[in-house]
Homo-oligomer: A and B are copies of this chain.
Amino acid sequence: MSDELILVKQNNAVLEIQINRPDKMNALTDAMYAAINNALDNASNDDEIKLVYLRSSGAHFSAGNDLADFLQTDFNLESNVVQFLLKLAALEKPVVAAINGAAVGIGLTMLLHCDIVFASADVKLSVPFVKLGLTPEGGSSQLLAQRCGDLKANEWLLTGRTILAEEAAGTGLVNQVFDSAEDLWQASDSLTQKMAKSSLDILLASKQLLKGEQREEVLALIKKEATIFGQRLKTDEAKAAFDAFLNR
């Protein structure tokens, strides 16, 4: 296996982006966001790419931001992490995600900008921002309620508790659950290859209608949340929570 932390390959008209840092539960660093952003730009500009397939290596989809790396990086609207969310939300081609194991923080909120999400039965999702003294990001303050209903979104965001596969499927947080990661990846391969048999035109026109007028609102929401998130990062409450987490 390559030692690149983000693997990108084209499989027919599908661009596969694979988070590849399994020894760190696929926690995401600034450099990894930059690599994904580059791949998303290529997906957007290359007419031979019809859709994006996002997955990861190993036992977990992503533990979210690598907190040590995150604290060493300036956080603002130009940061690679925020640009990643904006690029994903703005992408005009469909995005399919396959998730297994932990999908935490941005490992969940990025899914709100994917069009189809397949999961394995061992998936464990959470948005534990409140535990770090932080506010919802990545559009989750509105999009999680839109996808799963307001009560579940409120509970998940206000308590940070873990969501298992059955609850994720029952609330519409994921499309389908597969018995194992192998089954998940096989089904996702099959789905994305099947979708790639449609023309690029029809995929673009369909996604355009599905996103409707909402895309601009979502981009504005991501920026609004990121601005508040950035202010929270500077609070003593957040600093103490980060310290406790990193020194646990």
Smallest CB–CB gap between A141 and chain B, Å? Answer: 4
Which residues from B are CB-within-8-Å of A237? 199, 201-202
Number of residues in A with C-beta < 8 Å to the partner?
51
Smallest CB–CB gap between A134 and chain B, Å? Answer: 8
- For A94, A145, A194, A228, the residue with the greatest tally of chain B CB atoms inside 10 Å of its CB is A145
Report the separation of the CA atoms of residues A57 and B138 in the bound assembly, to the nearest whole angstrom. Answer: 41
Q: What secondary structure prevails in chain A residues at the interface with B?
A: helix
Q: Which residue of B lies closest to A140 (CB)?
A: B209
In the complex, are the beta carbons of B201 and A157 less than 8 A apart?
no
In the complex, are the beta carbons of B136 and A148 less than 8 A apart?
no
Which residues from B are CB-within-8-Å of A170? 170
Q: Which residue of B lies closest to A94 (CB)?
A: B158
User: A153-197 interface mask toward B, CB cutoff 8 Å, 1 = contact, 0 = none?
Assistant: 111011100000000001111110000000000000001001100
In the complex, are the beta carbons of A154 and B115 less than 8 A apart?
yes
Report the separation of the CA atoms of residues A145 and B214 in the bound assembly, to the nearest whole angstrom. Answer: 12
Smallest CB–CB gap between A136 and chain B, Å? Answer: 5
B-binding residues in A (CB < 8 A): 94, 115-117, 129-130, 133-136, 141-142, 145-155, 157-159, 170-175, 191, 194-195, 198-199, 201-203, 205-207, 209-210, 212, 225, 228, 232, 235, 237
Q: Which 6 A-B pairs have the closest CB atoms?
A: A149-B172, A141-B209, A115-B154, A116-B155, A151-B175, A135-B205
